[in-house]
Amino acid sequence: MDIDQAILTIIEAEAIRDQATLLERLAEQGFELTQPTLSRHLGKLSIRKQNGRYRVTQEPVAVLPRIDLALVPPNLIVLKTDPGHGQMLALHLDKRQPAGMAGTVAGDDTIFIACDAGVSLETLRERVLDVFGRS
């Protein structure tokens, strides 16, 4: 049994109320790990504390809208998306601020992305796609 399966088995069989208790139960099964490592495993397994005990939770799956990029030389990228998503995606880009991006202007389903001088549009295009986990 691996560590993840052991964690799942323990929290299903017993009302675990804190990480110290979970660490003890894991140690009884031969798994020695630190609290930060345990926290990472809990996050990976979507285990959260609910009503005073650890449980597997179902996190909502984020579905990104369609993203189409067009390069408009010399320094503009036009991002087309689904209606109603332009401003949300622009805000996400502005917060992540990929290197070479001067700024954004967003509408309902379109974002203009200005490229800094000296950065190629293709380089910025790749960085924008990386922000959204796309290639």
- Say whether the peptide bond before residue 60 is cis (omega within 30 degrees of 0): no
pLDDT, one tens digit per residue, over 60-89 is: 556 779 999 999 999 999 999 999 999 999
Tell me the two tokens of residue 56: 């597997």
Q: Is 107 exposed, middle or buried (0-12, 13-18, 19+ CB in 10 A)?
A: exposed
- Which of 12-16, 41-45, 118-122 shows the lowest mean pLDDT across its residues? 41-45
Domain 67-131 has CATH 3.30.1360.40: yes
- The string of DSSP codes covering 60-88 is PPP-PPPEEEEEETTTEEEEEESTT-HHH
**Model-wide pTM > 0.75:** no
Count other C-beta atoms under 10 Å from residue 101's C-beta: 20
Question: Can you tell me whether residue 51 is helix, strand or coil?
Answer: coil
The owner of tokens 């799956």 is 61
Q: 3-56 belongs to which CATH class?
A: mainly alpha
Residue 22 CA to its chain's centroid (Å): 26
Amino acid 40 reads R
What rounded mean pLDDT belongs to the chain? Answer: 92
Q: Tell me the domain boundaries of the chain.
A: 3-56, 67-131
pLDDT digits (tens, 9 = 90+) for 97-108: 999 999 999 999
